Amino acid sequence: MEDDMSKKDAKEEASDIMLSKDRSLFMKKYKDFLMHMHELNASRLHRMIKQEIIELVAEKDVHIDQAIEQVIKRHRSDFDSLFENYDESDDEDDSEDDMDTEDNSE
C-alpha cells in the first residue's frame, strides 16, 4: 500500500510540475497572441476582413466558420504581401542580431 502512495505522490508532484510549466507556456503564448492582435487591429486588411465576416454572418446568415473560410480565401493574395513584408522585417532583425553577435564576440 505504501508503494501505491509513493506512486500517487509522484504522479501528483509530476502533475503539479507540468501544470506550472503549462501555465507558464500558456501565459507566454497568450502574450504573443495579444501582441499579434494589437498589430492586426492596426491593420487595414484585418479590419476589412473582420467587417466582411460580420456582414456574411449578420446579413447573409452564413455560419461563422464558413464566413471566415470564404473571406480568407478571397484575400489569400493580400496575405502573400503581408508575409513578404514580415519576411523582410525578419531579415532586418536577423542582420541586427548578427551585428550584435559580432559586437559581443570582440
- pLDDT digit string (tens) for 21-39? 898 999 999 999 999 999 8
In a domain, 9, yes or no: yes
Domain annotation covers residue 62: no
- Residue 34 domain flag: yes
Percent of the chain with pLDDT over 90: 41
Residue 14 lies in domain: 1-42
By the 8 A CB rule, do 48 and 29 touch? Answer: no
The pLDDT score that the predictor gives to residue 28 is 95
- Let me know if residue 7 belongs to a domain: yes
Q: Is residue 70 part of a domain?
A: no
Look at residue 48 in the predicted model and tell me its pLDDT: 94
Task: For residue 82, give every residue at least 6 positions away whose Cβ sits within 8 Å of its Cβ, in sequence order, or none.
Answer: 43, 45
The answer on pLDDT for 20 being more than 90 is no
Which amino acid makes up residue 19? L
**Residue 77 falls within a domain, yes or no?**
no
In the predicted model, is pLDDT for residue 52 greater than 90? yes
Q: Within a domain: residue 90?
A: no
The tally of domains found in the chain comes to: 1
The residue to which cell 486588411 is assigned: 45
Scanning the structure block, which residue is given the C-alpha cell 471566415?
68
Give 63's contacts (C-beta < 8 A, 6+ positions apart): 57
pTM of the model: 0.54
